[in-house]
Amino acid sequence: MGRVHLDALTRSDQVEVVAVLEPVDAVRRGLAERGLRTFATLAQLLEDRGFDGVLIAAPTDRHVELVEAFALAEIPILCEKPVGLAAVDAIAAAHAVQRAGIVFQVGYWRRFVPELRSLRERMAAGELGEIVQISCLQWDAEPPSAQFRAHSGGIAVDMGVHEFDQARWLTGQDVASATGVPGGSGDQREIDPDVAAITARLTAGAVLIVSLGRIFPEGDCCWVEVFGTKGYERIPFVWGAAGDEVFHAALAAQAEAFAAAVRGAEPAGAGVTDAVAALRAAEMARDAMRASRGSVPA
């Protein structure tokens, strides 16, 4: 994701990448060859400074310690989702940034997709009537590596938090309860399932359906369906190769919103409250899947 962010930010004229922290020698050398100023350790980076904010794109299980370190140095933070492996991690991060009084934004990039922003406005205006169900679906082309899995927290945390944040943001409702079942086949289903179906109830009574998968012939795809008493919408906002442009544009817009907040503008992205809420919902779903199969990782 760090390299994805770097590529996305090349399109921005409002954000400049001035340094990269990368502990892996080979990767760091490659970044230096691109003309980027690189550092091998956090201590070296913080000693050098010379930057206005930081984008954390490290493995999920490193999020909290990095947030706490940059918060202690009073550096504004844009952190990739989900800000830890559990709600308690996001709460620890929240305490750190609140003590420091710094700008903090979570990388829920879908809040910057124009189609979804328009949908949210229409929903808020009542054009679809009372929302009775929202379905959020995310299917990747292929499963992640074993190394990634070891640090991700499993499908409910790694993928599901996007859907929970999206549903909360679109509807203005929180997740009151959630249950889920894992799918797929073989031993992988017992370790970290590559398919999951989650059903949740939102606080105003709407039903949330979350469908997650990691084996999809159409490529990496995300879509949403909204059922209201006055209307219905289905928006496939990321679909295969064409979705890369949407993804990169949203990442750039997200970073620009963060930079604007650092300069004093009203924050436009997800914050610490959103990070905690999405992880709490993911934990409910993960616990239900663990009860169902007995082995979804904690």
What is the SS3 assignment for 264-282?
Answer: CCCCCCECHHHHHHHHHHH
Q: What share of the chain is helix, strand, coil (3-state, %, to 5)?
A: 45, 20, 35
Q: Is the pLDDT confidence value at 190 over 70?
A: no
Mean pLDDT of 205-233: 97
- In a domain, residue 252? The reply is no
Residues 159 and 40 both lie in one domain: no
Last residue of a domain, which of 52, 77, 106? 106
The per-residue pLDDT of the chain, averaged, comes to 94
Of residues 61, 49, 132, 109, the one with CA closest to residue 270: 109
- In a domain, residue 284? The reply is yes
Kindly report the number of other CB atoms within 10 A of residue 125's CB atom: 8
- In a domain, residue 49? The reply is yes
Residues 162 and 210 both lie in one domain: yes
Residues 49 and 123 both lie in one domain: no
Last residue of a domain, which of 62, 87, 106? 106
Mark out the alpha helices in the chain (DSSP H runs). Answer: 2-9, 25-33, 42-48, 63-72, 87-100, 114-124, 146-152, 155-158, 160-171, 188-191, 243-262, 272-293
Of residues 7, 1, 46, the one with CA closest to residue 19: 46
Q: Is the pLDDT confidence value at 137 over 50?
A: yes
- Which pair of tokens denotes residue 150? 């070891």
Mean pLDDT of 75-80: 98
Residues 61 and 149 both lie in one domain: no
Of residues 218, 223, 243, the one with CA closest to residue 234: 223
If you search the block for the tokens 């300069």, which residue do you land on?
263
Last residue of a domain, which of 106, 126, 147? 106
- pTM for the complete prediction? 0.94
Per-residue pLDDT at 185: 67
| Per-residue pLDDT tens over the stretch 105-123 | 999 999 999 999 999 999 9
- In a domain, residue 256? The reply is no
- In a domain, residue 138? The reply is yes
Lowest pLDDT segment from 23-27, 33-37, 70-74, 290-294: 290-294
Q: Is the pLDDT confidence value at 64 over 70?
A: yes
Q: Is the pLDDT confidence value at 79 over 90?
A: yes
Q: Is the pLDDT confidence value at 295 over 60?
A: no
Q: Which domain holds residue 176?
A: 113-239+271-293
Say which CATH number the domain at 53 has: 3.40.50.720
Residues 278 and 150 both lie in one domain: yes
Say which CATH number the domain at 136 has: 3.30.360.10
How many structural domains are present in the chain?
Answer: 2
First vs last C-alpha separation in the chain: 23
- In a domain, residue 264? The reply is no
Residues 193 and 72 both lie in one domain: no
Residues 91 and 137 both lie in one domain: no
Residues 120 and 86 both lie in one domain: no
Lowest pLDDT segment from 39-43, 56-60, 62-66, 182-186: 182-186
- In a domain, residue 260? The reply is no
Residues 31 and 74 both lie in one domain: yes
Compute the distance between CA of residue 265 and CA of residue 113 in angstroms, rounded to an integer. 20
Residues 37 and 90 both lie in one domain: yes
| Per-residue pLDDT tens over the stretch 234-269 | 999 999 999 999 999 999 999 999 999 999 999 999
At 297, the pLDDT band (50, 70, 90 cuts) reads: very low
- In a domain, residue 266? The reply is no
Mean pLDDT of 182-187: 74
Q: Is the pLDDT confidence value at 80 over 60?
A: yes
Residues 155 and 222 both lie in one domain: yes
Residues 33 and 132 both lie in one domain: no
